[in-house]
Amino acid sequence: MILVIDNHKFHYEMENLCRVFFPYEKITVTNEDNEEDSKKAITGLSQADDVYNISVTVSVSGESVVKNQTADKDSTEDELEIMMARNLFDALCEITGYVPDWGILTGVRPSKLMTAIVDEVGEETAKAYFIEKLKVSERKTELALNVAKAEEKIIKNSKPESISLYVSIPFCPTRCSYCSFVSHSIKNAHKLMPIYTEYLCKEIDVLGETVKDLGLKLESIYFGGGTPTILNAEQLKQIFDAIERNFDVSSVSEYTVEAGRPDTITTSVLNELKRAGVGRISINPQTFNDDVLEKIGREHSSLRTLEAFRLAREAGHDNINMDLIAGLPTDTLGSFEKSLKQTIQLDPENITIHTLALKRSSNLFRENETEMSSGKLTAQMLEVASKLLYESGYFPYYMYRQSRCIGNLENVGWSKPGYECLYNIYMMEECHTVLGVGAGSVTKLKQPNGTYIERIFNYKYPYEYLDNFDALMERKSRIKEFYEEFYNAESK
């Protein structure tokens, strides 16, 4: 698809909106209109007399829809961008017959936006703004509000000295076809895992010293990846011991490890997690449809997931999250609902419903475009999930959206009361600093009594991480500088 940008700076939002309606196509952004293009959106802004003129024309296979609007000369750039987005959205809806639930809202954190607007103008006005100005459906507006309310009480627990620790284990048994994360199949990277564990512990040593010097308080720990439980019990113990040696874990309210892939879960690993004080784990089926599992490259069966869950309960794990993905190739509304009911029957404390993200670097996007679920079908899956989860005693407590999610839809964490994942909220709502260790992790430094955010990126790939470890530790010296700058400014 061609997106023509005529005399305005709003190309990023206009491109994102076009991608919602044409997710499998490359969006080419240009300043010139080629009349021969069969699928295009022309967006223009001009000024005449005392008004701005906003023009949008969407053409697909010979059919065109035109939307024009004038705006007061005192309109801000933000106001003009919203008006243009609304007109482009309306034109795309009309020509495709598809009305996405999130309207023109393409940001990652809808609940954070809802919170900010509620704080400024109140709940009812905020809801009206979502529905009338942003064209968000009533049900998604209610979802954003419900999540914002659930997050509020947890956000208040975060203090200026609070931090969380993210530990990256970028290895998996196999690479799922939908995956775009920096994770490596152990078939190719098995030899790296012992030395990676050693260097990871060295980085934990360095950061632990920094945290002590700055008087920061560790609130939550989260092992992600990849699949952390691809490491054996001894390797996990090395990392757990390094954390306990370098941090005051007595202040930690939540300790999570993504066990993730059921084919990595063993009794010895589960027992090591309990010994280390891990209080929350994830066991992620993604689907209980074995045909879909095979299609997406998961080398385990639904029966293996059930066995892993049983082993976890027998080992004493009483706070378990399970992930499902809506929109997987060949999955139907009926088979998705069956997977969801099977998950609910297991009675985990958390259930996270993800929407498939169409990442260009994934095998699924390159090889199976035509088999992916449509936005309409995936939206129906999410509606079924919402209904069944509410009825089963779960409530939505956090939400985020990824770029290229099918239908511009969302990922939602559902929880039983009292089992909300603190790290998910701290990280997504940017409540406090998150220190990242390991390949592919990101340290997100947050101003202790403000909103300023600064990021430090670790090297993406394990071999880069190992080869450039000293340079990375030099880069991490910025953490101490960051805090000392703000501490010194506040003392003046």
Residues 6+ apart with CB under 8 A from 57: 41, 42, 64, 65, 66, 67, 91
What's phi and psi for 195, nearest 5 deg? -70, -30
Euclidean distance between CA atoms 85 and 64, whole angstroms: 17
pLDDT score at 307: 96
- Residue-wise pLDDT tens digits, 406-425: 888 999 999 999 999 999 99
Residues 6+ apart with CB under 8 A from 382: 326, 353, 355, 409, 410, 412
Q: Is 417:395 a contact under the CB 8 Å cutoff?
A: yes
Helix (H) or strand (E) run with residue 124 in it: helix 123-128
Closest by CA to 160, choosing from 203, 215, 114, is: 215
In this prediction, residue 370 carries a pLDDT of 44
Q: In tens digits, what is the pLDDT along the chain, a chain of 492 residues?
A: 999 999 999 999 999 999 889 887 889 999 988 777 789 999 999 998 889 999 999 999 889 999 999 999 999 999 999 999 999 999 999 999 999 999 999 888 999 999 999 999 999 999 999 999 999 999 999 999 999 999 998 999 899 999 999 999 998 877 655 565 545 555 667 789 999 999 999 999 999 999 999 999 999 999 998 899 999 999 999 999 999 999 999 999 999 999 888 889 999 999 999 999 999 999 999 999 999 888 877 777 899 999 999 999 999 999 999 999 999 988 999 999 999 999 999 999 999 999 988 755 555 555 544 445 578 899 999 999 999 999 999 999 999 988 778 888 999 999 999 999 999 999 999 999 999 999 999 999 999 989 999 999 999 999 999 999 999 999 999 999 999 998 877 766
* Helix axis angle, 110-121 to 138-155, nearest 10°: 80
| Confidence at residue 176, expressed as pLDDT on a 0 to 100 scale | 57
Q: Report the relative pairing of strands 411-415 and 433-437 from DSSP bridges.
A: unpaired
Asked if residues 172 and 141 have their Cβ atoms less than 8 Å apart, the reply is no
Hey, what domains does the chain have and what are their CATH numbers?
2-96 (3.30.160.100), 110-143 (no CATH), 154-475 (3.20.20.70)
**pLDDT computed for residue 179 by the predictor:** 60
* Threshold 0.85, pTM exceeds: yes
For residue 374, what are its two tokens? 């449509």
Give the model's pLDDT for residue 367: 56
Bond before 226 cis per omega within 30 degrees: yes
